A and B are shown apart, each in its own frame.
Chain A
Amino acid sequence: MKKRLYLELENCIGCRSCLAACTQCGGHEERNRNYVYDVNPLVNRQTMPLMCLHCVNPACARSCPAQAIQIHETGAVLSALVEKCIGCQNCTIACPYGIPKFDTEQNLMYKCDLCIDRTKDGIPPMCASVCPSNTLQWLTDEEIEAKQKQFNLDNGKWVTSMPYLEGETNVRVNLPGILQGVTKLF
Chain B
Amino acid sequence: MRVALFVTCVNDALYPRTGIAVVRLLERLGVDVDFPAAQSCCGQPQYNTGYRREAEPLLRRTAEAFAGYDHVVTPSGSCAAMVRAHYPRIARLAAREGRGSGLEKLAEDLVPRVHELTEFLVDVLGVTDVGAYYPHTVTYHPSCHGLRTLGLGERPRRLLAAVKGLELVELPGADECCGFGGTFAVKNPDVSAAMAADKTAAARATGAEVLCGADNSCLAHLDGTLRRAGVPLRTLHLAEILASTEEDPLR
On whether the two chains bind one another, the answer is no
